[in-house]
Structures are given as C-alpha cells and as structure tokens.
A and B are shown apart, each in its own frame.
Chain A
C-alpha cells in the first residue's frame, strides 16, 4: 500500500509501450498514476536506471513547462524507486474530440492558443516530443493543458522544434483532415505570437525541409 494507493482499485486507461496510465482515487482526489513497469528483456540494473531516470525527468520537464507558462498537470508524488508518478487528473476533453465539433471561430481560436503554448515551450528549450491532439486537454474553463511529456527533451536547436511541429501537422492531417490546413495555419500564427516572426520563419523552413527528406513521403503535398 505504498503511496496510499490500492492496487485492486486501479483502472487502466492507457497502455503504452513504455508506461501505463491508471485512474485512481488518492486522498479523495481523482488522480492519474503513471507507472513505468519493468521490462523483462533488459537486465535489472539497466531496467531500473532507465525507469528511474525517466520518472525523474518527466516531472522535472513538466515543472519547467509550468515556468514557461504552459499549463500541465500538477505532480502530487514521484516515487523514483518504483518508477511511479501520481499526478492531477485533468478534467476536460481531449482536443482530438473537440476540434472538429466546434464553430470555425472557436476552432481557429483553439489552434492559435495551442500554437502559442507550443511556442512558449520551444522558446524555453522544451521539446514535447509527442504533440498530438490527444495529448492536449481542453478544460471547462477554456484552458489547454499539455499532458504526456514522456518523450520530451530539452533543446534549443531548430531541428527538434521542426520535428515537434511536424508531428503536430501530421496529426492534424490524419485526424482532423477536414480542417487541417486552416488549423495548422492558425497553430503557426499562435506560435509566431510566442516566438516572433523571424524564428517562426526559420522553423517553417525547417518543417518543409523535414517533409522533403522523404522520411514522411506520404505527407508530401
């Protein structure tokens, strides 16, 4: 019964290759528990090292995002030895579910907001690493909270910024294809608000370069 959590009450809500998310009650609060389970294929020393490093890294970068003015879940508890993170369950809806079902005005406003948040992350040397619309929660108060920093890294270089935004673009084209073009344009508009026109131009050129590398041939327009 570590952390006051009861294993029998855990509800698995997402099983990833690297970590699993559980919904749980913790001190009368709805929380998300992110568990990095041991991997049988690697030796225990290495396994522990990887899991504990990532368990420390993620809350750290989530905190840095808050400093940059980007809403992220509150971290309640970090258990490095067991590779568990207990964090706020963010009430709201995934942007993925909302984006196609609101008015054009609201949609573009939402995209501009998302773009400016991405811009703030990048300006502060934070690369999210998995910018999909399912990793963004729209709260009832109109805030957008970024979740899942499991693939994030610190960098101020152009390349990872381009890759980050490129993934955003791909997500829009695959999941929200009806409005993808106008949405991404709005994202970049918001991005420019945060980082300025000059930097946005550089990043845009980078995104185009990444697309042309052929790695994502299907996305060539």
Chain B
C-alpha cells in the first residue's frame, strides 16, 4: 500500500465513544483545519448509552457539515476516514462507526479504526511537541498512566473501579451541582474547591500502581451529607486526595521509566490544580511538563483523525468487514509502529 503524504492530504476523524459527537478535518502534516462537536446533555443523571447514540445520529449531519465548512474543503478532498473503534459505549461507538463506513465507501477512501486512548495521547503529543512522555490520561471514562515501551503504549497504572472524571461527575450530581455549557461538572467542582480551606480526611487508595476512586466518592458524598463540612471544603479535599493519588502513581512511572516528559491529557487535564501538582513532579525528575490545550482536552474528532493518519502512514487500515467496534479495546493491545520511542 502506498501511503498518502502530500500537502493536500486530509483525514476526516469521527469521535463518538461517549457523550460527545465530534468530527474534524486534519491534514497529514498535523494541522487541525476544523474540529466540530456537539455534546449530548442528559436532563438528569449520567449518560444513557441509547439516548446518547440517538443524539449522535440526530446531530451527525449538522456536525459533519460544520466540519467541512470550517475546514473550507469539499468531501472529495478527503483521502482517509478515521473513527474511534473503542473503548467506549457500544451504541455510541456504532453510530460513529456507521457514519465512518458510509463516508469511506461513498468517497472510496480507506477507513481506519482508532483506539480512543491512543487518540488522546497522540493529540497531546502533537499539540505539545512531546516525543516520548509518561502520559496521565484522565477523563470521564478512563484513568491511565502509560508510557511507550517495546512497540506499544504500556499501562503502568490505572483505575481499578471508576474513572477520575466519573468520580467528579457523580459527586457533583449527588451534592446537587449543575453543569453549564462550557462549565462541565469538573470545572464547577474546581471552582468551589478554590474557595475551600479546611481539609476533610478522605480515603486515599493507591494499590501499588493502581488507583481506586469509588471509596473516595462515597466518603466525599457522605462528608457533605453529614452537614459538618461546607461544600467548598469537601470539593477542596476531594481534589487534593484524588489528584495526589494520580500524581503519586505518575511519579512512580516517571521514576521507573525515566522518560523526558510528562504529558497530561483527557478531559480532566483542563483542571489547573491537577496541572500544578504534576508540574512539581515533572520538575523534580527533570522532565518537561506538557499539557494538552483545552480545545483538544475533551473527546474530539481531531485526535481520532490524527491518530488515524499516524496509523495509516505506517501501513495500517481497517477493512470495512473488520471495522466492528470493540467496547473493551485496551490501550496496550494496540501495536504502534509509528512511535519512535524506546
């Protein structure tokens, strides 16, 4: 197979693992021409997979059009379609995959299935110039510390139960907070935490290299319900404990691998407090601290497009008959020949 690698090569990336439906156009040189998005906002509770998938189907045409308009290219200029193939919510993934298959067939261009976690790491590297980092990937669905080793992104530590972002979301909902457009639950908790002063003792659970957040979530909700502490203090303490756990595990991976960079990526990467804590350990180990820019932190089409380009350039594509989604696709199952690491 000959890989496209001219100035005029563009990839369309479709992201639909959870609540976000994103479509982006990215050039083969790594320029993000457009990055359109529409998020499913449940009236109450968390993400209902079928409802979210219905939302994605409804907005797909609008988001696709927006991505083409903003990029100022025609569908015919696209020479590769990438989609997130997993891990994620089945119905949501299938909606994105269906759109991707249809487009690739219609445009008669290759299709490439992308691992969502790889997408977050690669877009972080592209945006920050990191080459071989220890990555802390924290979002609503994932909490992973990884680094490249012998051909793959290895997992050094991860959550044993719920994800960091999920912990913040469920806590926020349980204590009656509201999210707004542009201010998701994580940002609301961060805002309140800044006003907190008194530390409330909460369970700190690091098991070797792995983390657990479910006990911390329950204890935080109970601390608030006890009416002994202000919401600000509980938010403050929840963040301190959770982020200290993340930082400890990341530091251990950094000490072990001696990588030159620390990369923070995923939706929770937007949190300033978490950024400042990771910066401390990066400096102590003489590593450069890199954080994905806000516009590329949450789930987005650009990261899928870019990871798709990298895979495609190294000879990987996904025939339609093998393009079924993989809801439990683990990061270290992906062979990553495009990475020049150790």
Contact B333 A42 (CB under 8 A): no
User: A221 near B: Cβ within 8 Å?
Assistant: no
Contact B252 A42 (CB under 8 A): no
User: B298 near A: Cβ within 8 Å?
Assistant: no
Which residues in B have their C-beta under 8 angstroms from that of A50? Answer: 204, 244
Chain A residues with a Cβ closer than 8 Å to the other chain, count: 22
User: B102 near A: Cβ within 8 Å?
Assistant: no
- Across the interface, B207 reaches (CB within 8 A) one of A17, A153, A214, namely A153
* CA–CA, A43 and B332, complex, Å: 34
Contact B330 A214 (CB under 8 A): yes
Chain B residue, CB-CB nearest to A153: B207
Q: Mark A1-44, 1 if CB is under 8 A from B, else 0.
A: 00000000000000111100000000000000000000111110
Q: Mark A151-186, 1 if CB is under 8 A from B, else 0.
A: 101000000000100000000000000000000000
Contact A214 B332 (CB under 8 A): yes
* CA–CA, A129 and B206, complex, Å: 12
Contact B280 A18 (CB under 8 A): no
User: B254 near A: Cβ within 8 Å?
Assistant: yes
Which residues in A have their C-beta under 8 angstroms from that of B280? Answer: 40-41
Q: Mark A52-82, 1 if CB is under 8 A from B, else 0.
A: 0000000000000000000000000000000
Which residues in A have their C-beta under 8 angstroms from that of B73? Answer: none
Q: Mark A127-169, 1 if CB is under 8 A from B, else 0.
A: 0011000000000000000000001010000000001000000
User: B150 near A: Cβ within 8 Å?
Assistant: yes
Query: How many B residues touch the partner, as a band?
Result: 20 to 34
Contact B240 A43 (CB under 8 A): yes
Chain A residue, CB-CB nearest to B247: A41
User: B192 near A: Cβ within 8 Å?
Assistant: no
Which residues in B have their C-beta under 8 angstroms from that of A129? Answer: 208
Contact B332 A18 (CB under 8 A): no
Q: A17-B255, A45-B199 are in contact. Are A151 and B247 (CB under 8 A)?
A: no
Chain B residue, CB-CB nearest to A164: B208
- Across the interface, B241 reaches (CB within 8 A) one of A46, A130, A215, namely A46
- Across the interface, B277 reaches (CB within 8 A) one of A16, A41, A130, A217, namely A41
* CA–CA, A50 and B281, complex, Å: 17
User: B152 near A: Cβ within 8 Å?
Assistant: yes
Q: A41-B281, A42-B277 are in contact. Are A17 and B252 (CB under 8 A)?
A: yes
Q: Mark B258-296, 1 if CB is under 8 A from A, else 0.
A: 000000000000000000111011001000000000000
Which residues in A have their C-beta under 8 angstroms from that of B155? Answer: 215
User: B248 near A: Cβ within 8 Å?
Assistant: yes
Contact B332 A16 (CB under 8 A): no
- Across the interface, B247 reaches (CB within 8 A) one of A42, A45, A163, A214, namely A42
CB distance from A202 to the nearest CB of B (A): 21
Chain A residue, CB-CB nearest to B332: A217
Chain B residue, CB-CB nearest to A160: B207
Of B152, B248, B276, most A-chain CB atoms within 10 Å: B248
Q: A151-B208, A215-B330 are in contact. Are A18 and B248 (CB under 8 A)?
A: yes
* CA–CA, A129 and B154, complex, Å: 19
Q: Which of B125-174 contact A (CB under 8 A)?
A: 150, 152, 154-155
- Across the interface, A16 reaches (CB within 8 A) one of B207, B208, B255, namely B255
Q: A40-B280, A46-B241 are in contact. Are A215 and B248 (CB under 8 A)?
A: no
* CA–CA, A16 and B278, complex, Å: 17
Q: Can you report 15 residue pairs joining A to B where beta carbons are below 8 Å apart?
A: A17-B251, A17-B252, A18-B248, A39-B248, A41-B280, A42-B240, A45-B201, A49-B204, A50-B204, A50-B244, A129-B208, A151-B208, A214-B330, A214-B332, A214-B333
Complex A-B, nearest 5 residue pairs according to Cβ-Cβ distance, in ascending order: A17-B255, A17-B252, A41-B277, A41-B280, A42-B244
